[in-house]
Structures are given as structure tokens and as C-alpha cells.
Amino acid sequence: MTEEPQSTGLPAREQSVLAMERRTWSGPGAKERAIREQLGISPVRYYQLLNALLDDPRALVHDPVTVNRLRRVRDARRSRR
């Protein structure tokens, strides 16, 4: 008997944002271009969504490695200010 993966309740767009953050980018502008083409939103909106996701417990359940890494980056930036 195989188990179905549990749904985290995270909407598809938010899952796509986290997936985008797991990727590596070849050069300047590649990520912003992919955000516009694949998600159909502006980079500014993308980063607003991403920042909100870092505080969403569903995102942590969905992708703990990525969320925790991004939280550390965000916290380091805040402490430098």
C-alpha cells in the first residue's frame, strides 16, 4: 500500500514561487524574465508574495529547506540595517 503525499494547503501559485527559489540562474535578468514568463507577474509582485510566504506555516511544511534558507537570508539583511 502506497501513501499519498499530504497536501500542505499551499496554493499552486505559491508553490511555483517556492519552486522558482530552488532554481539556480545563469546570469543577470534570467530570473526576472522567468518570473514574468512562467508566473505572469512582475518581479516586484513576486518578491512581495515570496516575503509573505516566508511567514506562512504552510510554506514551511511544503518546502522547509528553501523557506528556512530564505528566512536566514532575510534575517541577515535585516540585522545589517
pLDDT of residue 42: 96
pLDDT at 4 over 60: no
Grid cell 512581495 is found at: 48
Is the model more confident about 51 or about 8? 51
Q: What is the pLDDT of residue 28?
A: 84
Q: Alpha carbon of 24 to those of 2, 48, 61, 77, 80: distances in Å?
A: 32, 20, 22, 20, 25
Question: What pLDDT digit, counting tens, does each position of 22-78 carry?
Answer: 999 888 899 999 999 999 999 999 999 999 999 999 999 999 999 999 999 999 998
